[in-house]
A and B are shown apart, each in its own frame.
Chain A
Amino acid sequence: MEPRKLFLKYLLIYFFLILGFIYLHVINIEKIIYPFSEEKVESTVDFVYQQF
């Protein structure tokens, strides 16, 4: 991949990583969007890999 495209790719990856971290793990946007929903277990491991 040419350097400019590579730079843009990683710029986007870091941007979404930081933005996602702030929204999901710092602000916890779920609580703002769904204020009345019940508290859920956050671990997704059991959800997908239980059969393995």
Chain B
Amino acid sequence: MNLYAVHNTLPFTSLTFAMFMVIVIALFLFFKWMKAKQNVYKWLLFCFNLVYLTVLFPKPLQIIILIMYLYLAVFLLRRFYKSENIVFPMVILSLPMIYMKYINAQPVSENDGSFLTESRKIIQIAGLSYMIFKVIGLYIDERRTTMKISFVHFFNFTAFVPALLIGPIDRYGRFREDCIKGFENISFPLYQKAWNNLVLGLLFKFIIAEFIHRMILSHLVNDASFTYHVSYMYTYLFYLFFDFAGYSLLAISFGNFIGIHVPVNFDKPFLAVNPKEFWKRWHKSLGDWLNDYFFKPIFKFLTTKQWFNSIQRQSIALFLTFTLMGFWNGFELHFVISGMLFGVYSVIHNYYQHKCKVKGKDVFFGSANPAAIQYFSLFLMINIVAFAIYIFSGKLF
């Protein structure tokens, strides 16, 4: 790994990024110390994002064009599209992502000069999906408001470097408020929080996840046995958690250092006792996003049609939401099935809760010891999640 590569530095992957981070934090502190005007903050953030994208990011031109496309799409949709139906805007905004997922699912061909191979090189931009999810959220939240969306705020929001690659998925309104408060947000308590997140993030990503990857996962011998698959399943689950949660903590920490309250993404997910709670603890920003922009509109649409009763509507909306999440991860079969499996878990739990409510008692556990129910639920959740994540990993098919 080239630690000092220009145009090859993804966030939190190299010493170049660490040095860049230190310089940026020092600059923000300097401007605060100089008592700079609030308006300076958004321009400073703009310069920081722009310098990163043009100097360090692997595909500078492509990502700038993508941001321009998204801004133009949001502008035109807000201006000319007056319908309440959000499917068309969602598709328009998602077009680059849909195309990227489509070409990712095609068989790999090395430098054969075909249109597919060439377009793969252009459109495969790290963090594209997260960027598009953020912009879809922005459009849905702001589509009815008359407030102008300034390009500087839009750019800062979509290209916010710490959360560029894999989130957390922020909301425009909240992010804009932080930008308006500007240097006022940078304070000693937030620095303390930032430092604590930084230390924990480093431990998670660069020690525990790296240890699991280098010492266990890389050395599992694939003899196609049941033991191998089970070992891989649990090891991959913990690797993914520590790597992802560590990255999220680093993103939150960097955001805090420059006065942005990046939302929390992981909150002890292995303590979840049901699928609903799991998505409030694991990749929380995605869970909230899916709830607001997929589940609720689908449920609302089904409610207007009167085709199904309430529990059926909830279940269909849940299943479709998680299936769409699977497609968001990629068009490959293992991503889609993993998403559907999470949907099935949620539907089963939803029916179970409904039955308990109707019967006025726990239809599965009866009057068993509450502590025993708790431990059994924890055990069950970890195992079914491990299985779904194992399918997601693409190791099985």
> Secondary structure at chain A's binding surface: helix, strand, loop or mixed?
helix
**Inter-chain contact A24/B214, CB cutoff 8 Å:** yes
**Inter-chain contact A20/B208, CB cutoff 8 Å:** yes
- Contact string against B for A residues 6-50, beta-carbon threshold 8 Å, 1 for contact and 0 otherwise: 000010011011001100110001100110010011111101110
A13–B162 alpha-carbon span in the complex (Å): 23
A10–B210 alpha-carbon span in the complex (Å): 20
**Inter-chain contact B210/A44, CB cutoff 8 Å:** yes
CB of B341 within 8 A of chain A? no
Chain B residues lying within 8 Å of A14, measured Cβ to Cβ, are 199
A25–B206 alpha-carbon span in the complex (Å): 9
A21–B166 alpha-carbon span in the complex (Å): 24
**Inter-chain contact B13/A43, CB cutoff 8 Å:** yes
**Are A37 and B219 CB-contacts (below 8 A) given A13-B200, A51-B330?**
yes
A49–B58 alpha-carbon span in the complex (Å): 15
Chain B residues lying within 8 Å of A20, measured Cβ to Cβ, are 203, 206-208, 210-211
CB of B291 within 8 A of chain A? no
Chain B residues lying within 8 Å of A45, measured Cβ to Cβ, are 10, 13, 165
Chain B nearest CB, measured from A43 CB (Å): 5
- Contact string against A for B residues 215-232, beta-carbon threshold 8 Å, 1 for contact and 0 otherwise: 100110000000000000
- Contact string against A for B residues 1-29, beta-carbon threshold 8 Å, 1 for contact and 0 otherwise: 10000000010010000000000000000
Interface core residue of A16, A25, A34, A51 (most chain B CB under 10 Å): A51
Count how many chain A residues have C-beta atoms less than 8 Å from C-beta atoms of the other chain. Answer: 25
**Inter-chain contact B130/A51, CB cutoff 8 Å:** no
A9–B52 alpha-carbon span in the complex (Å): 35
**Inter-chain contact A40/B218, CB cutoff 8 Å:** yes
Chain A residues lying within 8 Å of B202, measured Cβ to Cβ, are 17
Q: For B129, give its contact among A10, A44, A47, A52 (CB under 8 Å).
A: A52
Q: For B214, give its contact among A13, A21, A30 (CB under 8 Å).
A: A30
CB of B170 within 8 A of chain A? no
Interface core residue of A14, A42, A44 (most chain B CB under 10 Å): A44
CB of B116 within 8 A of chain A? no
Closest to B105 in A: A51
Chain A residues lying within 8 Å of B126, measured Cβ to Cβ, are 49, 52
CB of B163 within 8 A of chain A? no
**Inter-chain contact A30/B244, CB cutoff 8 Å:** no
Residues facing A in B187-215 (CB within 8 A) are 196, 199-200, 202-203, 206-211, 213-215
Closest to A18 in B: B207
**Are A47 and B213 CB-contacts (below 8 A) given A10-B199, A20-B207?**
yes
Q: For B203, give its contact among A17, A40, A44 (CB under 8 Å).
A: A17
Residue contacts A-B, CB under 8 angstroms, 16 given: A10-B199, A13-B199, A14-B199, A17-B199, A20-B211, A24-B207, A24-B210, A37-B218, A40-B218, A41-B1, A43-B1, A44-B210, A45-B10, A47-B213, A48-B243, A51-B330
Q: Which residues in A have some Cβ–Cβ distance to B below 8 Å?
A: 10, 13-14, 16-17, 20-21, 24-25, 29-30, 33-34, 37, 40-45, 47-49, 51-52
Q: Which 3 A-B pairs have the closest CB atoms?
A: A20-B207, A51-B330, A17-B203
